[in-house]
Structure 1
């Protein structure tokens, strides 16, 4: 069939509306064919139905049925066209990027079907034919098409690399195995490849395990992010709840302050306006008297002048304005009092916040006991491990690496390497003490400097009233009153250590941004008793809700 005949044949199966091969062809009463969906959409919203080709009109919308004969012819046409396209594609398939091209083709390089290790050439189906028919070429070793065939040949003997030398861990040809590697352990490429595949399988399994671990880590980090966001949202809501009424109170106080100042100013203005009104009234009366005196002095009626003289001679009664003053009001102290009231409100709100925070951290209370194996020989511990004070004599105790040898220190028996924990210690009656947490690897021998750099997060009291946070350098703490019971809270993951005055519900000091990588132990020092002045013990107390 000629090309023109093919074109005419294809035109017979094209819908004149969509210009594509028919889909579900239907025939109108005038004999023309269209896709069912095309003619249906063409007639939508029309009052007069007409054929798109011949313009024949129909007053009633025709009932259209699928032309089964034409549909079968269209389906046959589609199948033939697909077969022709498939046959043409398989016969003339050009090499795509990444595919091995035929080395013989000129012009368009077709896709290679095989590579010859003898010829070091890759062939398409057409140029491969001699290797399948010629007796001399049939003996050549063919393989799946590959690039850089010269890399598969021994550079020394120009022979295919067919063996693997396990001794030298290299691929060799047959001549190499006889001449250069005859005493070495040789195996086929297939055998070695299978072994390497097994190793790659292990590597792949390890990689998949690493991928899985990292996916789990991603999930863990996402969960941490969610927890962090939830905590941030809660804190934000709490902050809004606290600060909104505080800001409203500030606005009210500011409005009240402005009103008080304005009231004072209005009172002063009213007083001045009243004085001015009286003065203007007196001026008016004086001006009237002045006019009367002036007229009388020009009068030619001597009798009238003498009769009026005694009345007009004296000035009308007026007020002595010499000492009258309008003193501007003093606003000194207005702002100071307002600020003091605001500070008092803030202190009350802060106290409420600390009370709520302390109540929350007390939920993480743990049972802490003192570890006698860490106690300095001068210390005396109670039988239940809850109290410690410094004695007058140094006991002869076994030397242990965990024991504090020089300073009057002792650690808690319990350690913590995650989560949150809280404990309370009574310090009532003492003039000196140290309290906090310490990491496991701290120095326990000789002189010890308490600081985070040395593994201690602690505060202390000296001389009965000198409180310091040993933050390296130390921070002087100005407390309104000395605490009798100190609460210690630690959040391991967040790197926080907080100290509270439990009874007053006051935050004493906070270490933030700490990086904990070891076990943490509660840390105590009752300090020397100084002849009985500091003989009261440090006592670990049971935790009860303070508010």
Structure 2
């Protein structure tokens, strides 16, 4: 057999269609041999059944059977060809999921290309004719795919090479003539590029929507978080208020019980005193009755007459008919206690609500420091720019546009142009001070008045004039206690500037209906402008939320 195989020629076992050694060779009635798959696809893609070699026309498609002898000889030739065996051994076998070569027998090798014309996939060895044979070079090769039949027009059995923009579908070259008249067509590559561009645009739009959706999700999560935090603070405030009210009720209840018990003890003590006195009276009466009874038994006339005088002259007993214990009435005690409770609770609730309001405002606390470049030359600032003292010596400083040169003020470094903010200043021990807010553009040189028209919203203490708020005209303030720490709260959008006695959680004064259009800065005057000597400083203190 080996000797015979040496005489075999490759041309004798080559299919004239795929130019490869026969795979399942079949013979036509005209005597020519082809791969069964090749001749079947050839006739499927043509209207007439014609022999590819001799051009014999068949009226109907012949029944094809595999030529067993040629098949066996082709297999022997294929195995005996060193070139074929060597090349096949170097090519990788198809792994699960990879496209297999349609022409490999035995082990199926991995396909590297698929031919739309032949509707077959080829490994490197079986692809060679498509790269070398002139009549096969025009075939359209693509990356290997399994579903080659989906790339053929099901109606005309031709490759899908055009894209119908009118119907948005892929068609063959015959479709525009028969089924898609007057439609707009472009080559598949051009349709691919256009659709790819649209897909890229779609992906960009989707990515943008995804980002917006993610942002919205984060916004909702943040909103839920803030809601939980707000609810937690609200519960904490409520718990604190109701615990305090409960303690207040318990205290008033204890006082009520104590009052009732004290009344009862007083009545019992008075009753016990009278009873004790009556018992003493009773004891004397019994002794006298015994003496009288004993005298009655005497038969001595002289003794009876002489003793009667001493017995009858005994001190008279107390008349107890009008003596009684005053029953102290408890009627109305409950009503009185409840009225007291109502009045006390009303006062305490107002105090608690003020504390709750102040705690809410303190949530907007900001860090504020003094700006040395704005300080009057006589003012002394601490190293951390948190304290300002009144000095006696005017320092030689650069008189920049920001510095106060007549009015003894200093501003904060921080400015605010929106939202809400709050800070606290310790004024303990001060006999004069001024605090508030001012516009960034307000006057700082020479003499001017502290008023909203000048861009100043302030509250002042002076031992001579007392407390005043400097509105369009000064407003005297009547405070129940002397503040030791003052809180300043601003709501820029609402046009609100409020001052609080932090320790008492009491509102001192509010500027309302203000129209802010410039940046605002905290303003401080340690008393220098009032020519009032005071060694205690103004101190910007850290906000400690009220209990």
Give your verdict on TM over 0.5: no
TM-score for both structures, normalised by structure 2: 0.39
The structure with the larger Rg is: 2
TM-score for both structures, normalised by structure 1: 0.39
